[in-house]
């Protein structure tokens, strides 16, 4: 029983773990030389409702990656504008830890292997083609290729390739598997109706900050600096993916978070203007390298799916992460990925899929995003436990909690405790 996962970001890694735990042979195919995708420049966990979702995953037996990120944290329990109790992991050391963990679990990790097409018979995928022409067959497939880039999208819907960590020019562009299967991908819109949205942060080399700011960042995890009045641009908030960070405070201030790099919470920033800020006189970008010009464009390639994460109209294809909806963040990717991995194996054994109840944060997010897209035809809202529309909903419904015992009890009451860590057969 062979599970093929296409895309080695957080979602693909999470899917590989639950699929492996459920008892399958698991292969991840990743186009770059590293797992985690944009997780290599992310780093924010457990802020606001993500805490609840993280604890739900742990209670359901899919907390492996959450625990790894916790162990690799640079800072824990950090508050910054509109966000509480965040954990920041060190992006510079995370990937190798995850890779080692997956390989020790027996997951077959294939990096620098770009999937370019599929072989399909009726509504069933038979196998995938790699960029070098090799064919790999499989029984069930999970698409976690994300929705970022490639360059054509970054150019048509953004400011062009800004050389982000995905490194499309070197490793080749992402290919949408659902598109190759003959389905139409769903494209997200910004407030002004333009398609796609900018990735929400860029990263500065810590060494290029003034000593004073660097020390403060290392000690506190957060530094907030005032932007000169003439440089404030509130319009830019509409362009960014991360609606949870689209607040006035983020436009009026430079907010730096310590994720190994100094994470600057804005999609892009003119370097000359950035250097006008006290303490940033010598600053430079490390991701994207052309952070003055723009950032990667996302949300142009989501699939239609059901709440078990199975792609509609293809018998043996599941999806997770940004591929499965307009979700933002690592926790969201890990949550959807864990479900997709587990349900892919259930599919192989002809078992009913797990669909999480709407009383859980994860189950609610997954079904709410589907409802808003398919019933309300809302192509503009993005969903995250960490803020904006969905965190407000979590609070209204009383789903948000930071009480670990209470969260575990709730999961237990639905009979879901450790469900993802059990071997199915």
Site for other proteins, rule CB under 8 A = 114, 116-117, 119, 127, 129, 131-135, 149-153, 155-156, 160-161, 168-169, 172-173, 175-176, 179-180, 185, 187, 195, 300-301
Q: Closest separation between CB of residue 66 and other proteins, Å?
A: 33
In the complex with other proteins, the residue whose CB is nearer, 114 or 323, is: 114
**Which 3 state secondary structure label does DSSP give 374?**
helix
Q: How far is CA 277 from the centre of its chain?
A: 30
Taking the C-alpha atoms of residue 326 and residue 186, their distance in angstroms, rounded to an integer, is 9
Q: Closest separation between CB of residue 116 and other proteins, Å?
A: 4
In the complex with other proteins, the residue whose CB is nearer, 19 or 154, is: 154
Question: For residues 256 and 60, is the Cβ–Cβ distance under 8 A?
Answer: no
Q: Closest separation between CB of residue 120 and other proteins, Å?
A: 12
Q: Closest separation between CB of residue 64 and other proteins, Å?
A: 32
Taking the C-alpha atoms of residue 241 and residue 359, their distance in angstroms, rounded to an integer, is 26
Question: For residues 391 and 424, is the Cβ–Cβ distance under 8 A?
Answer: no
Q: What are phi and psi of 409, to 5 degrees?
A: -60, -40
- Alpha-helix residue ranges (DSSP H) falling in 349-424: 361-374, 388-397, 404-413
Taking the C-alpha atoms of residue 147 and residue 157, their distance in angstroms, rounded to an integer, is 13
Question: Per the omega criterion (within 30 degrees of 0), is the bond before 288 cis?
Answer: yes
Q: Closest separation between CB of residue 135 and other proteins, Å?
A: 5
Taking the C-alpha atoms of residue 252 and residue 334, their distance in angstroms, rounded to an integer, is 32
Q: Closest separation between CB of residue 185 and other proteins, Å?
A: 6
Taking the C-alpha atoms of residue 411 and residue 206, their distance in angstroms, rounded to an integer, is 41
Q: Closest separation between CB of residue 165 and other proteins, Å?
A: 17
In the complex with other proteins, the residue whose CB is nearer, 136 or 424, is: 136
Q: What are phi and psi of 40, to 5 degrees?
A: -75, -10
Q: What are phi and psi of 36, to 5 degrees?
A: 80, -15
Question: For residues 90 and 259, is the Cβ–Cβ distance under 8 A?
Answer: yes
In the complex with other proteins, the residue whose CB is nearer, 185 or 252, is: 185
In the complex with other proteins, the residue whose CB is nearer, 262 or 319, is: 319
In the complex with other proteins, the residue whose CB is nearer, 179 or 404, is: 179
In the complex with other proteins, the residue whose CB is nearer, 152 or 279, is: 152
């Amino acid at each position: 029983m062979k599970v093929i996962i296409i895309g080695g970001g957080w979602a693909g890694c999470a899917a590989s773990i639950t699929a492996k735990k459920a008892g399958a042979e698991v292969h991840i195919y990743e186009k770059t030389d590293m797992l985690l995708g944009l997780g290599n420049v992310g780093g924010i966990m457990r802020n606001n409702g993500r805490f609840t979702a993280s604890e739900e995953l742990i209670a359901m037996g899919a907390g492996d990656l959450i625990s790894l990120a916790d162990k690799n944290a640079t800072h824990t329990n950090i508050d910054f504008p509109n966000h509480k109790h965040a954990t920041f992991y060190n992006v510079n050391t995370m990937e190798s830890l995850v890779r080692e963990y997956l390989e020790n679990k027996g997951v077959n990790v294939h990096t620098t292997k770009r999937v370019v097409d599929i072989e399909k018979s009726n509504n069933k995928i038979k196998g995938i083609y790699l960029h070098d022409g090799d064919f790999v067959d499989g029984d069930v497939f999970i698409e976690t290729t994300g929705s970022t880039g490639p360059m054509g999208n970054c150019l048509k819907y953004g400011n062009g390739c800004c050389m982000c960590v995905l490194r499309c020019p070197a490793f080749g562009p992402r290919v949408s598997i659902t598109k190759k299967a003959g389905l139409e991908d769903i494209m997200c819109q910004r407030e002004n109706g333009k398609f796609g949205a900018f990735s929400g942060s860029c990263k500065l080399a810590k060494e290029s900050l003034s000593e004073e700011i660097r020390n403060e960042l290392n000690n506190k995890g957060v530094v907030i600096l005032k932007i000169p009045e003439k440089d404030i641009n509130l319009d830019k908030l509409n362009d960014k993916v991360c609606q949870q960070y689209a607040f006035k405070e983020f436009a009026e201030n430079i907010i730096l978070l310590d994720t190994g790099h100094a994470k600057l919470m804005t999609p892009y920033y003119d370097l000359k203007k950035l250097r006008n800020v006290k303490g940033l006189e010598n600053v430079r970008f490390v991701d994207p390298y052309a952070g003055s010009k723009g950032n990667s464009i996302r949300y142009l390639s989501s699939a239609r799916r059901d709440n078990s994460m199975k792609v509609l109209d293809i018998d043996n294809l599941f999806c997770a992460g940004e591929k499965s909806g307009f979700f933002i963040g690592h926790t969201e990717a890990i949550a959807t990925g864990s479900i997709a991995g587990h349900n892919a194996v259930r599919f192989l054994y002809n078992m009913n899929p797990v669909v999480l109840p709407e009383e859980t944060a994860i189950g609610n997010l997954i079904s709410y995003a589907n409802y808003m897209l398919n019933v309300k035809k809302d192509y503009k809202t993005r969903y995250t436990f960490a803020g904006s529309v969905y965190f407000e909903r979590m609070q209204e419904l009383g789903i948000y909690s930071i009480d670990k015992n209470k969260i575990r009890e709730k999961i237990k009451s639905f009979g879901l405790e450790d469900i993802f860590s059990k071997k199915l057969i």
